Structure formats: structure tokens, C-alpha cells
Structure 1
Amino acid sequence: MYLRFTSRTNADGSVVRYVALAHNRRVAGKIKPDVLMNLGRVDQVDVEGMRRLAASINKHFGGDGDGTGVEAGLVAGAGPLEVVDARSIGATWLLDGLWRRLDIAAAVRTAADARRFTTNMERVLFALVANRAVAPMSKLSAAEWAGEDTVIPGLASMDDDHAYRAMDLLVDADTAGRVQEAVFFAVANLLNLEVDLLFFDTTSTYFERDTEDHGEDAFRRYGHSKDHRGDLPQIVIGLAVTKEGIPVRCWCWPGNSNDQQVLAEVRDDMRDWKLGRVITVVDRGFSSADNLAYLRRAGGHYIAGMRMRDGSPLVEQVLARQGRYQQVKDNLRVKEVRIDGTDVRFVICHNPDQAARDKQQRDDAIARIEAELARIRDQRERDAKRPVGDRTRQRHEAAHVRAECALRDHPSLGRWLVQQPNGRLKVNKAKIKVEERLDGKYLIATSDPAISAEDTALGYKNLLEAERGFRDLKSQLLLRPVFHRLEHRIRAHVLICWLALLLVRVAERATGETWRNINRQLGRISQVTLAGPAGTVVQTTPLRPEHKAIYQALSVQPPARVTTFDPR
């Protein structure tokens, strides 16, 4: 007798394996399998019960009786087994379970059904996303990784040509954001997300090349770099996240786009999703009057950070209003201010801890400035007393002027200096006095009449989730370096990184652990293939309690202990 495995492919492309107890019998001179008992699906087999059965057989008919594994009992006495392959499976299996639960697989298959591919492009695309989350590398290396280093359920192998076709399919399928919309509503329903607050921010990512693209529709362009690499061409990336930190949509624009230009497109795209009441939360870079007015179209509302140092009369009027602060947290106080003639509400937020840090940083900067000014002054006085020629005296004075210019143009110290009519520098006392009023404060405006001042402040602070998403995209998922040249491939690369970030955030939210820890723990689960005279056995290393806890938290069935047993 032996275990007989069969498989069936579902309509969604998933493969279900079944196991039965069988034996061979000769019929008309031919060997045919005869099923004695159906044991059910492989992933639902009572493995412990089969272990006890194997131990009982060993006890009565020889053997150590410890039941070290069903597969060991079945091939006992048939010769030694040799490990012929071993791959990691834990993290990719988890991501595949989330991929299917979030309906990403269904959205991609819908787009691929109209085309004829010899390879399952949905599986190839998942392999690229999983690689970005588990061990980010180039597309060529990712193809090798998927075929040699890890187990991608439903995909035996792939090459770089498959990867590029899957990327092109993703961009075509996501025209007008159809894939992102389908994924968003699936995630919102599955996780019961609150989507009344959506946080939006932008970042930039650069390319390791010296020149930008040319033409009116050029994509890689020079622009304001948020990575402080203005010497390299770049693109601008936008990200919308929920208050739980789940990224729900991303955008790409040419590198010379600025924050004021892109918000209208973002608002229109989100309006197409018909989410109902949505408050968009944006940072100070988007708080122009035109942008805020656009966010209020069709009943929308906003929470926006306001620039406090641009000399706006309205901001000065808000800051001058008297009133008591309301304690929200130990490190946050809020005060609501209303101005006649406008329905916009303003909230002044004050962080005592940040106020102390601002004062300390300013005092340190002023101390450095005064020390440097004193050094230049003393050196000028010493040089003036030396009996030297005119040309030497001119060189000395030129050196002093260069030192003063360097101090004036310093990126952090220059703001505290003012130049006198005689050209000398001095500390700007008026500037210090103005800044003292703003220590630890930031100003928020909201058009929503119902939200409280406390929720407005806390909602704005959650904008850090968007910044955290950008940080993980660049550091953990290695958004750059970008090796692609064509615009649609660059867009596909960003979408793949966004999908990886989405899966990572869902896993973190459900388990309460960082993805770094989840990936490390599940990376210890391997799928091992053993072959010998008795046949081939594919089994997974035993799960530890921490592994089971992760799968259970995400409602993902862990990989089966034994996936294949093919007797010779």
C-alpha cells in the first residue's frame, strides 16, 4: 500500500491536492491503482493521526516505533533518501495567501484573460512583488530567485522576459487605476478600514544618470529633490494611505512636477472611487489657496498644514488670538481659532517637548555664530596691526570676507544673520524674537465643520504614516536604484513596490510585528525534496509556535507538512 496524490485546479488558478490510501493490482496484465480510502485534502490531513498509525505498524512489525514521519514509514526498507532540493517557503506562502485574500490575483487575471500567454502572468507578477518584499533585487535576479531559491506556489520557473511581460500587463491593467481600485475596496472590506481620512504626500526618487530625458513628454527630469540629489534626474511619486497606514493608491509624475500641480489629479482620481465623505490630509507643501479650494469641490474636505513663516496676514491674525490650550496628550496641546468671514477652522498645536528642542537648537546655533563672528573679528584686528604691504593686507581682508560669506550662506546658520550697511554681519535679534513665539507650534486648517480640534490634530499627526511608507519603500523595499529606462516600465516598477508595501502593511497590522521580524521568522521554513529508490517526497520543515501564530493572525493556512509523495 502507498499514498496516492492527485490534484485539481480551481477556477481562480489555485491548485488543491488530495491524498488517498491505495494499492496496485494487476488487471489484464496491467498494473492499476486501487483506492482503498480517501484521506481528503493534503492541507487538511490529520498528520498526527497518521504518525500514530505508522508508529503502531513499526511497533508490531519492527522498527523503532517513534513514528518520525508518515513519509519515513511509507518508504521504510526501500533504500536511503537523498536531499535533492531545498528552498525557502514560509514568507512567500504567507504573501501568496494575502495576495489571494486581497483579490489582487483576481484583478490581474481579469486583465490577463483577454490575452494568450503560455506562462501564468499572474504568478509571475506575484513572484516580482514577493521578491520586492522578501529579498529585493533586479528583475533578472528576481527571475532566478523565483526559480532556484524560493517556492512560488503555482510557478515552477520564470525568466526575465516573463518578468517584463508581467510588468507591461500590470501597467495596461492599471489604466485609470482599475487594479488599485479593486484592491482598495477588497482591502477596505476585509480589514474594515476607516477611509474617511486619507493622507497624501509626495516624494522623489532619482536615477543614476547625468542627463534628463528630452521632449515635451519626458519622464525623467530634473526637479526639486527630496533626497537632496538635485544633480540627478528624478520622478515624483505620490502615495495615499489610510489612518492605519495601509497604502491605497500611488501615482507617478515627471521629475519636474511640484506639489502644487499634482493635487488636482489626486483629488479627481479619488473622487472617481465614490468613497462618500472623505477628508484629505495634506502637508504644508499643498496648502495653497487654489489647492484647498479644489479639495472642497463636490463636498470634499481637508485637513492641511499651514505655513507659519511666510508672513501671511491670516496666519498672523490666527497666532495673535488669545485663548486657552486644551490638553490632548502629555506632549500635545491644541487651541481652536475661528476667524470672521471664513468657514475654515484653525487649530494651533503646541508640543512642549518640541518647544524645548527648538529653543536648544536655536541657542546652539546662535552660540556657534557668535563664536565664529568673534573669531573673524579678532583675526581682522590682529591682521590690521601687522606691518605688511598693501597686497598682503588685501589678501587678508579677502579671506575675512570669504569667511563671512560662508557663514552667511550656511544652510542652517545663515537664517539667524543680517548684513549691516558696512557689510559686516550680526545676529538678527528680531528674527530670534519672532521664532521664540513659534517654538513647538504648528498650525492646521480644516474645512470640516464636524471634526473636533483634537481629532484634527491627531489626524494631521498621522500624516507621518505616508512618510513612513516612503521611508520603507526606499530602504526596506529598495524602490531605488531603478534600472528601467522606459516610462511604462518605471511606472510598473513603482506599482510593484506599492503592492509589496500593501502586503507588508497588512501583515504588520494583523500580527503587531514588524515585517523585518516576520520575514526573518518565516524565512526559517523550508521545503525539502528527498529522492531515493522508493520515490520522491516533498515536505516542509516543522513549524514552530511563532510561525503558527503569524499564519493564524493573518488567517492563512500554513504550508502542508507533506506536499508530494510519488512512489516509483
Structure 2
Amino acid sequence: MYTKITRSGGRQYLQLVEGYRNEEGKVRHRVVANLGRLEDLNPAKLDPLINGLNRAIGRSDNTAFPVEIESSKAYGNVFALHELWKDLGLDRALGRAMRSGRRKIEADALVRAMVFNRLCDPMSKLGCLRWLDTVAMPEMPAKVEHHHLLRAMDALMDNVDRVEAELARQIRPLVDRDLTVVFYDLTTVRIHGEGEVDDDIRAYGMNKETGGIARQFVLGVVQTAEGLPLMHTVHPGNVAETKTLQAMLATVLKRFPIERVILVADRGLLSLDNIDALTSLAEQGGRTLEFILAVPARRYSDLVETFRDMAFDETGLAEDRFAGHRLIVAHDP
């Protein structure tokens, strides 16, 4: 049996209809009951009939059906990120850099999932697993476990140079032709715990956060004037900042179309000791190294004799030579 809505004289009626076969085996139907005008029917009139039918077959009343609410998976944010990921060519870059016939995990998809998690709801690896259960991530493996994420990170580290080179190639069109301004700075990241591993970069050094000695590693970031990150560097916690500059500059010059190199730094990052090495590095591409260096001496006392004979103008500026370089001093009484 089933319900049927019929029309007569401009009105609609609800009928209970039974289907059957006649003696010739043909399908026919007949009206079992007329339930009334459709516009006059409401739950108060129909629920008793529905409940009676439910009771006849051992079901609960219509008004007592349990309601189960299941949450849907979020799709909007990860879909937008996925399209950007493809438009920027990051999927192709990771695929080329991390291609391996021996690896049985989809490392590039897992790395993408962890990147999206950092953008949408930053969590740990275990937190990322919980987050994946709440989103409809496109093109993901059927089952992702904690060790899969760890193995994807290992694969990323094993191919870090190739990955960064491929990513640099993809973002080149987003960088201005001359790459006129590049910012590079270092910070320290403290580490808690006393465990050690082979080739451990965690070492005791001067921590920028506390101003004291701490177990740490050093993180460097290179970005454009617009804030577009180009690359990052990781160093042992006891490294001297000046020793990181040459390797960073060599990598940036190799990956990006830089025509003019001007280094602006304080004494912590750029010293007279490494200017010669940096100059020869810049000259390899037919460039000339230009730099603005604050306090180009190991001790202020090295500048005493130079300062003694300086003649300051009415604005408090004076110019001289120091260690073969142009020295400009701004004096504030």
C-alpha cells in the first residue's frame, strides 16, 4: 500500500491506495481509504494513524523515533587550499623531489595534509590525525596512521635540498625580477630534555629569548620584502651567526635571479672577517658586494683613534675610512 494525492475540482485529496493483480495478472490499484483534503491534514490528525500502524508491526510510536545527528566533514577550507596548492605547482614540485620507487607511503600527500593542518588548525602529529578525521581532504590515502606522518617527515628531510630547489623554481614567477630586497634573520629555539642522537644539532649557546645559556638550535629564515618566504636554514645551537651568512647567500644566489647584492646587518650577523669571502662569492656572478655594517669592529676601543680626528658637520655626521672601508658616523650628543 502507498499514499496517493489526487485532484478534483481544484482541490487535492490524500488517499490510501492498494496495488494488486487482477485475474488476468495485470497490475491494478484500488482506493482503500480517503484521508481527506490535503490542506486540512496536519500531524495531529495523521500521527494517531501512523502510530497505530507502527504498533501493529511492533514499532515505537512515530513521536518517539530516536534522532541521530552525525557531523559532516569540513570541506571548504581544505578545498580552497588544495586548489591553491595545485595552482602554485607545489604538488608537482613535491612529487618530483620526493619520487621514490622504494617508498610505500604517499609522502607528498601526507606532507600536504600536515601543511594544511598548520594553516587551518595547528596541532602536533597526533593532533593532525584527529583533525584529518574532521575534514574531507582531497586525494588522501585511505588510511593514515601516526607512523605514516613520521615517515613522511623523514622522507622530506632525506630530500630537503631537492624539495627546496623545486619549490624555489615554482615560486620564481612570484618574485620580482631583480629580487631587490631580501631579509634574513636568525632566532634561537630552546629545547627541553636531555636526550641525544647522532649528529645532534641541539647544543648549548646564548639564547635570544632568555639572554642566558640554553640548549637550543638556531633557525634562519629568508624572505622577500613582501613577506614571501624563500628558504630556511637550521644550524647547531652554538653556531656563530656570522658563519651562517655565507652558506645562506650562496644558496639564494644559486636559486634566485639576483643582480645586486647589498647586505645590511649588525655586528652579530656581518663582520669584517667574512666580508672578503662574501665579496668573492658575489663576484662569481659578475656582481659587486655592497654592504652597510653596524659597528665594524670587535671592540669599540678599536675605533678610538678614528673617532678622535673626525670632524662632524652641523647635522652630527662625519665620514672617514676604517679597515679599508668607508665609515659614516652619526653623532647624537
TM-score, scaled to structure 1: 0.40
Is 1:183 matched with 2:171? no
Q: For residue 204 of structure 1, report the CA deviation from its aligned partner.
A: 0.8
Which amino acid in the other structure matches residue 306 of structure 1?
Answer: A
Is 1:248 matched with 2:226? no
SS of residue matched to 2:101: coil
Q: Distance in 1 between matches of 2:305 and 2:250?
A: 29
- Segments of 5+ residues of structure 2 without an aligned counterpart are 1-66
Q: For residue 250 of structure 1, report the CA deviation from its aligned partner.
A: 0.6
CA contact (8 A) 2:98 2:156 kept: no
Determine the structure 2 residue equivalent to 1:322: 312
* CA RMSD across the alignment: 3.4
Q: Distance in 1 between matches of 2:219 and 2:79?
A: 29
Greater alpha carbon shift after TM alignment, 179-188 vs 199-208: 179-188
Q: For residue 312 of structure 1, report the CA deviation from its aligned partner.
A: 3.7
CA contact (8 A) 1:93 1:153 kept: yes
Q: Distance in 2 between matches of 1:101 and 1:286?
A: 37
Is 1:287 matched with 2:301? no
Determine the structure 2 residue equivalent to 1:202: 186
Which amino acid in the other structure matches residue 210 of structure 2?
Answer: H
Q: Distance in 2 between matches of 1:347 and 1:89?
A: 58
Q: Distance in 1 between matches of 2:226 and 2:305?
A: 31
* Same amino acid, percent of matched pairs: 24
Q: Distance in 2 between matches of 1:163 and 1:290?
A: 43
Is 1:306 matched with 2:287? no
Determine the structure 1 residue equivalent to 2:136: 151
Is 1:224 matched with 2:212? no
Q: For residue 274 of structure 1, report the CA deviation from its aligned partner.
A: 5.8
Which amino acid in the other structure matches residue 235 of structure 1?
Answer: F
For residues 230 and 160 of structure 1, do their structure 2 counterparts lie closer, same or farther at Cα, with a shift above 3 Å needed? Answer: farther
Determine the structure 2 residue equivalent to 1:397: none
Q: Distance in 2 between matches of 1:258 and 1:207?
A: 18
SS of residue matched to 1:268: helix
Q: Choose from 72, 89, 104 the match for 1:86.
A: 72
SS of residue matched to 1:237: strand
Determine the structure 2 residue equivalent to 1:234: 216
Q: For residue 255 of structure 1, report the CA deviation from its aligned partner.
A: 0.9
Bigger Rg, which one: 2
Is 1:142 matched with 2:128? yes
Q: For residue 237 of structure 1, report the CA deviation from its aligned partner.
A: 0.9
Determine the structure 1 residue equivalent to 2:148: 162
Q: For residue 91 of structure 1, report the CA deviation from its aligned partner.
A: 3.1
CA contact (8 A) 1:102 1:183 kept: no
TM-score, scaled to structure 2: 0.65
Q: Which has the higher helix share?
A: 1
Q: Distance in 2 between matches of 1:310 and 1:214?
A: 41
SS of residue matched to 1:238: strand
Determine the structure 1 residue equivalent to 2:254: 272
Which amino acid in the other structure matches residue 209 of structure 2?
Answer: D
CA contact (8 A) 1:198 1:280 kept: no
CA contact (8 A) 2:191 2:216 kept: yes
Q: Distance in 1 between matches of 2:304 and 2:206?
A: 28
CA contact (8 A) 2:203 2:216 kept: yes
Q: Distance in 1 between matches of 2:254 and 2:308?
A: 35
Q: Distance in 2 between matches of 1:82 and 1:212?
A: 49
Q: For residue 227 of structure 1, report the CA deviation from its aligned partner.
A: 1.6
Is 1:107 matched with 2:89? no
Q: Distance in 2 between matches of 1:208 and 1:153?
A: 36
SS of residue matched to 1:182: helix
1:125-177 deviations in Å (ceiling 9; x for gaps): 0111111222221112212212x122322125522111112111111222xx3
For residues 280 and 213 of structure 1, do their structure 2 counterparts lie closer, same or farther at Cα, with a shift above 3 Å needed? Answer: farther
CA contact (8 A) 2:321 2:327 kept: no
SS of residue matched to 1:97: helix
SS of residue matched to 1:87: coil
Tell me which of the two structures has the higher relative contact order, counting C-alpha pairs closer than 8 angstroms and 6 or more residues apart. 1
SS of residue matched to 2:82: helix
Q: Distance in 2 between matches of 1:235 and 1:85?
A: 42
For residues 193 and 271 of structure 1, do their structure 2 counterparts lie closer, same or farther at Cα, with a shift above 3 Å needed? Answer: closer
Q: Distance in 2 between matches of 1:152 and 1:248?
A: 27
CA contact (8 A) 1:87 1:151 kept: yes
SS of residue matched to 1:311: helix
Work out the number of aligned pairs and report it.
258
Which amino acid in the other structure matches residue 266 of structure 2?
Answer: D
